[in-house]
Every structure is written in structure tokens, then in C-alpha cells.
Structure 1
Amino acid sequence: MAEPTKTTTGDIVQPAGPQAGAPRGSGFWVVGAVLVLLMLSSSVPSALYVLYQQKWGLSSGTITVVFALYAVTVLAGLLLFGSLSDTLGRRPVLAASLVLAIVSMGLFAGAQGLGLLLAARAVQGLAVGLATGAMGAALLELTPRSKPALGAQVNSAGPTVGIGLGGLGAGLLVQYGPAPTVLSYALLVGAFALTLVGVVRMGESAPGLQGGRFRIVPRRIRIPPGAGGRFAVLVLTIVAVWSVGGFYLSLGPHLALSLLRSTNYLVGGATVALLAGAATGAQLLLGRTEALRTAVIGLLGLLAGLALVLLALGLGSAPVFLIATAVLGSGWGAAFLGSFRALSTLAEPEHRGELTAAVYVFAYLAMSVPSVLAGMLTNIHGLHRTSVGFMAVVAGVCALALIVTLRLSARTRAEGSTA
């Protein structure tokens, strides 16, 4: 969770296929590996935040600022360089993002304080933002012809799979491996280097390259005329979903350790993995369900999960908290999948990139701003009281989103029956 880099099916027109180079299928899996690894690496620091706090005396507010910097730089990279792969091609953009990812892992491994930690998170965010558009497009362009739906499925489930594996793997290495603040990043340097070789060797898939010139074309933010009402309804769900995601990825491990009264760092990573794993499961289960219905199911899951989190905090119960996290993750995955799919239909194909950029703006702001506020309030009121207040507010947003989404669904069905 994760951070919000989901399917970008609206950003491109399906091309005939890759240009000369590696076979279509092999390139697809190389790009899929890049997606999972980038998302995996983005959740590794979440499992280490508690350790950083203890080693360097950082406050919860500072930790959420580190997390928010990642979200902001992802958004900046996406908006500034999101169209670059249409000009230069998918391969060079993906290769550049992997080089940046390797640099960021080196900065993380060498960090001895807040300065390099911030620098590493910023470079990492830029790498993910640079790669997002190219990955989404390449996965669709390189989808094996025998499995035409596979590209959209990997686009949707890849991020949560990566976030889950990153949280769990980093937790294991931090707790049981040597050099806890170095080992995870060193292994990722090797993994990124291998995928870089695969990217260099794969075939180019971008259609109609514009001369191969380096051009920065900031992605436009525009909501299609007449779609403002539906956009506002659906983006409310996006805000609720990624407010939860930002909180769990920044303060979730600390909260889990507190409730479980544990000093085992695996607990923090496993909490992130449980949230992301449940989200992936829900997305795979509901992949063919109608978009608005999926969003409604997800919002109900979010409300149930938030209620269980509040119950767990009130009782101080670790088992209830773990159940709540699984329920919350299921709602998180379903709500995002449904709302994003519904949003993607609001614009014509040639304008879906602009609409997608607008969705990402709200998603990354929702991921970063509330988590920073929660971190600052934690310094004043403590983690427990802040978590209760945060979850209660998000539950209110979810309830409002559910009401307006149900109304939108009913109106959509009525319009369909009279058409």
C-alpha cells in the first residue's frame, strides 16, 4: 500500500504489439517484476521506521514527514515525467527509473540520520513516479495474446503484492538478519540490477515514438466536462482508501507493536503485509464484479474494518486488531479497484491520462497529508488517542462516500433502464 499506483488502462491506446526485440511474453514478465520490486522497495522503510525512531530519536511526526515526502515526489515524477515514455520509449524510461531506484537503495543503506533518509525517500519516490506510466502502458502492450486480461490484472494486483512482500520480507530481515538497516536495501540493489538487465534486453513496445527526443510534458489535470459530480462522488472513496493506506504504511507498524506489546520488528512488517495481502485477495476475487458494486462492497468492508480497529483500540486487543487489519485491507483493495474502474469510464480514451492524473493527485495527497497530521498529533496526544480520532474521522468519510456512491449507482441503473 501501500502506496496508489494502480491500473493505467486509460492512459494508452492498445497497440499492435512490441517492436523487434525479446519475445512479447518475456518482456511482460520483466515489466511485472519491475512493478512488484518498486512497490516492494517502497514498503521496506515502513518496517524499519520503528527502528529508525529508536536509533535516531525521531518523533512520530518526523516519520510521517519522511513517508509523505515519498508520496509527494511520486506525484511530482508522475505529473512531470508521466508522458516521457511516449516520447523516448518504455525501455529507456524504465531503465532510468531502475537506476534511480538503485541510487535510493544505496542512500538508504548508508543513512546514519534523518538527512540521508529524506534524500533516499525523495529519490525513491521520483523513481516510482517516473516508472508508473511506462509500467502501466508496457504491461498492456506486452500482454500475452493468449491471456488478454492479464495486463490489467497485474497492473491492479502487482502493487499490493509488492507492498505485502516488502513489509513481510523486511520485517523478517530486520528481526533475524544481520545489519538490519542495510541488508534489505543491499538485496534490493542486486534485484534491481538483474531487472535492469532484463529491461535493456526486452523489446520496445511503445507505438509511434516521437523522434526519441527528451521532452518534459507535464501531465494536464482536467476533469471532463459534465463529469464533475460523478468525479467528486468517486474520488471521495479514493481519499478514504488512501488516508487509511498512508496511516498504516507510516504509523501502522508502531501501532501494531504497541497493541501486541512486542519488540519483534517482524510484527510491524507483518501488519503491512496483512493489509496488502487482504487487499490483493479482494481485488482478485472481485475483478469481474461491476465497478460501482465493487466500490460499495469495499466501502462496507472499510467501515467494518474501521469499526473493528476502534474496538481493538478500546479493548487493547491484539487479536481483534489483526482481524480488523485483514477486514480493512479487503475493503481497501475492493474500494480502490471499484472506484478507479468507475472513474476511468468518465473520459474519452484520448483524455483518460488527464483524468488519471487528477485521480493520482487526490490519492497521493490523501496518502500524505492526513498521515503527517496524524504524526504531528501523535507527538501531542499519543499514538493511541490519535489513532482513535483518525479512524473515527475516516469512518465518517467512508460513510459519506457510501451514501453518495449508492445514490450514484441507483441513478446509473435508472439511466441504463431508460436508455
Structure 2
Amino acid sequence: MTSPPRTAARPPGREAVRPAGRAGFLLVGAVLALLMFSSSAPSALYVLYQEKWHLSAGTITVVYGVYAVTVLIALLLFGALSDTLGRRPVLMVSLALAIVSMVLFAGAQGLAWLLVARAVQGLGVGLATGATGAALLELAPASRPALGALVNSVGPPVGIGLGALGAGLLVEYAPAPLSLTFLVLTGAFAAALACLPWLPETAPGADRPTRFAPHRVRVPAAVRRRFLVLVLTVVAVWSVGGFYLSLGPKLVLVLLGSTNYLVGGATVGLLAWAATVTQLLLGRVRPLPTAMFGLIVMISGLGLVLLSLGTGSAALFLVATTALGSGWGAAFLGAIRALMALAAPQGRGELTAVIYVFGYLAMSVPAVLAGLLSNAYGLRATSVGFMAAVAALCGLALAGAVLLARRTAGGTAQDAPADGVPGPAPRRRAS
């Protein structure tokens, strides 16, 4: 069977796509959600792994950290690859790696298996990140061009929420709790891989001859300052996400005094689904106000989390998680839309990769550090310190967003395009 020919390269701007583009948009969105589903599925099993193989909380966060580190390696080396090689072939390699990782998880016999499975999974997700982010922008319906950025922001929490909740259900109520989730995911990835040959190719440089080689990703100098201000919000958001994915299930089980694995997975799902609902409600609001609103709600949610940990109230912790998830969703939606607006068509995959480099660093380093500290100081005390630090980071990100919004409001029409992010200052003519 031969793959369909690639579409011709398009001039700068959002590329026109074939009628199959709508189906392709849905396929790429499903691939993004499926990858995020698989990345959070192990979270519901971490408590079970701890009990079966006598692993500490620090060891569990190392397993989680291996995934994030390998995602980073793939992003740094191959994050821009889909801009030249094409979105479709990069996604096909990514899904093949995802299938290998699911098979390794299903057959895991100890810590070493988990580490290898997480590493392979991380490489697959890292390869796909730039390609999915760019393809969603390029395949979005012409009547709703903002839909690509919306799915880019909604896809991760939807997938994470489904993964944690679905895995929790299977672990608690289905047979073969350590393998069934991953066997189901193996079949889903195989089905998605079988559909990819029909995905329209939209990368502007995909028709030019290229060679498979590592390429260091970077942020264009013209947008670097704005990028650094906006990416603070991404760092704050994914610091919370990393904590909940690695230690959240264990924390809520301690607060509730429960041994039901579904409860642990549902906590991650609660955070993610609150984020998703908020993103859908705010999809048409301008990016910077959305990000600022989200950061304010996140700070409030973190305050409630601290109060719940101080009082030992599980009910308040769940309410706080819902509030935190709502802020998380709004902040990420605003930040990702504003950041995506900085990318030129030929560099979309690369800029998406750089955004997620910061995101995965924020997911991994603080979570691993929190896990190691919890071995010495206990989970509750470590959680208090972590949430206080993230609240301070949210405050810093909010201050940066406010300054950026003031600059936009005080600039010219050229300085403030429709996405709400100020463009490069116009050059003055010599008098």
C-alpha cells in the first residue's frame, strides 16, 4: 500500500488543506489525547507498584522523571524535525515507539522494566509533540482557525484526565490490573498508526530534500523576550501537573485513609477535567486576559490546597483540586494561544517543541525533588512547601503577563495583533 502524495508547500500563512484535512484534524487531535492518556495511565498504578515491589515515593518520582527527561531529549534533538521531514512520518515513528512502550509496561516485572518503558514512552511523546502541535494549527478548519490552538491546550488535560480515571477503573475493578490498561492502549495506538498514511501532509518544508539528523531547537530572537514572559505561566501550570501525576494519587489516599485505587486516579482526573471545562468555556476570550484570570484562580486554588493540608480535610482538598484545575486550564489555554501566535509557519513545530521543553522540565524536576524530599520530611510537609513555591511562581508569571498586557494596550495596532500578544516594535525611519 502506498501513502498518498504530500501536498505542495504553501506560502507563509495558514496552509490550505485537502478535503481530508478535517478528518486529519480529528485524527491528530485523537493522537494527542491518546499520547497524553498513556502518559498519565501509570499514575493510577504507582501505588500498586509501590506495594508490590516495595518502592519508595522518591523512586516513583524517579520513574516519572525518566519519562520527562526522555521527552526533553527528543524535543531538544528532534523537536523541529517535522518542519522538514513532515508531520506524518514523525507521527508514525512516534506511535511505533508508543506501542513498544505499552508492551513493556504490560510485561513489567520490576523497577528496571518500568524505567525502560517510561524512557521509550518519553521518546515517542517527545517526537510527536512538535508535529501534533503544528499539524493542529495547519489542519484547523478555515472557518475556525483558533480551533487548532484550542485543541492544543484542551488535548493534554482531556487525555491526562481520561488516562488517570480509566486506568484507575481498570486497576480497581478489572482483571490483570498491572497489564490490562496497557494492552488496551496497545490496540488503540495500533489503530491510530494504521490511519496515519491518509493524514494530509502540511509541513511547509516537507517537499524539500532533507536528511534525518538532530537539530537544536531555539526561539527566534525577535520574539524571545515575549516568549520568556509567557512561558513562565506554562512552567507554573506544569509544575502542578507533574506533582499531581506523580504524588497526587498517594496524597489523596493518605488524606482519605483509603485503599481504593480509583480514588487516586480520579484525583488526577478531577484536576484535568476541571481544566478542560474551563478551557471550553473560555475558548473565545483573548489570550492574555485568559492567562491572567487562570493564574489568579490557580493562586486561590493553591491557597485552598495549603489550607486542606493544614487541616487534614480530604473534602477541602478535592474542592481545592477542582479550583486549581480550573485555573490550570485557563492559564495554559491563554499561554499556549499567545505563544503559538509567535510562531512563523515554517517554524511551528520547532516553537511548539521549545514550549514543551519548558513544560516537561517543570513537570519533572520539581516532582522528582518533591518525591525525594518526601522520603526525608514526609509527604504532607513536602506538599505544603511545594504548593507555596508554585503559588509564588504563579505570582511572578501574573506580574509578567500584566506588564505584557499593558504594553499591548499602550502600543499601536501593529504592536497588538488580534491574538492579544504584542508584536515586534516597528523600526523608526531615520529623520
The answer on 1:151 being equivalent to 2:148 is yes
TM-score scaled by structure 2? 0.87
1:117 aligns with 2:117: no
Aligned to 1:7: none
Distance in 2 separating the partners of 1:171 and 1:418: 50
Q: Contact conserved, 1:223 with 1:354, CA < 8 A, in 2?
A: no
CA distance in 1, matches of 2:88, 2:223: 37
Structure 1 distance, partners of 2:197, 2:346, is 29
Match of 1:334 among 330, 337, 355: 330
Q: Check whether the contact 2:77–2:217 (CA below 8 A) recurs between aligned residues.
A: no
Question: Partner letter of residue 405 of structure 2?
Answer: S
What's the CA shift string for 1:156-211, capped at 9, x where partnerless? 21111111110110000000011111000000111111111111344434444245
Q: Say which of 28, 33, 41 aligns to 1:31.
A: 28
1:152-301 alignment runs, 5 A limit: 152-211=149-208, 213-222=210-219, 224-225=221-222, 227-228=224-225, 230-301=226-297
Give the aligned residue type for 2:170: L
Letter of the 1:411 partner, please give it. Answer: R
The residue aligned with 1:71 is 68
Aligned position for 2:4: none
Distance 1:101 1:15 in 2: 29
Q: Which residue of 1 aligns with 2:5?
A: none
Q: 1:416 Cα deviation (Å)?
A: 4.5
**Counterpart of 1:15 in 2: which secondary structure?**
coil
2:15 is the alignment partner of 1:15: yes
Query: How much does 1:308 deviate?
Result: 0.6
Instruction: Please tell me whether the aligned partners of residues 67 and 121 of structure 1 are also in contact (alpha carbons under 8 angstroms).
Output: yes
CA RMSD in angstroms comes to: 2.3
Matched with 1:391 is 387
Residue 136 of structure 1 deviates from its aligned partner by 2.2
> Structure 1 pair 148/363, CA: closer, same or farther in 2 (3 Å)?
closer
Matched residues in 1 for 2:414 and 2:99: separation? Answer: 55
From the superposition, tell whether residues 27 and 197 of structure 1 become closer, same or farther in structure 2 (CA, over 3 Å). same
Q: What corresponds to 1:9 in structure 2?
A: none
Which segment is superposed worse, 255-264 or 192-201?
192-201
How many corresponding residue pairs?
404
1:306 touches 1:328 (CA, 8 Å); kept in 2? yes
1:126/1:405 CA distance change after superposition, 3 Å: same
Q: C-alpha distance in 2, partners of 1:404/1:137?
A: 26
Residues 74-120 of structure 1: CA distance to partner in whole angstroms, max 9, x if unpaired? 12212222233333333222121111111000000111111110110
Give, in whole Å, the separation in 2 of the partners of 1:70 and 1:395.
25
Whether contact under 8 Å (2:33, 2:158) holds in the other structure is yes
Q: Partner amino acid for 1:260? A: L
Specify whether residues 88 and 227 from structure 1 end up closer, same or farther in structure 2 by C-alpha distance, changes over 3 A only.
Answer: closer
**Aligned residue in 2 for 1:130:** 127
Distance 1:140 1:402, change over 3 A: closer
How far apart, in 2, do the equivalents of 1:417 and 1:225 lie?
18
CA change 1:111–1:226 in 2 (3 A) is: closer
From 43, 50, 56, give the equivalent of 1:46. Answer: 43
Which has the larger displacement, 340-349 or 123-132? 340-349
TM (norm. structure 1) is: 0.90
Name the CA distance, whole Å, in 2 between partners of 1:291 and 1:174: 39
* C-alpha distance 233-104 of structure 1, shift in aligned 2 (>3 A): same
Q: Deviations over 1:209-237 (max 9, x none)?
A: 24565422414323524742x44432322
- Matched-pair contact (CA < 8 Å) for 1:224–1:355: no
- Within 1, Cα distance between the matches of 2:401 and 2:359? 18
1:155–1:232 distance in 2 versus 1, CA, 3 Å: closer
Does the 8 Å contact 1:85/1:133 carry over to 2?
Answer: yes
Which AA in structure 2 matches 1:152? A
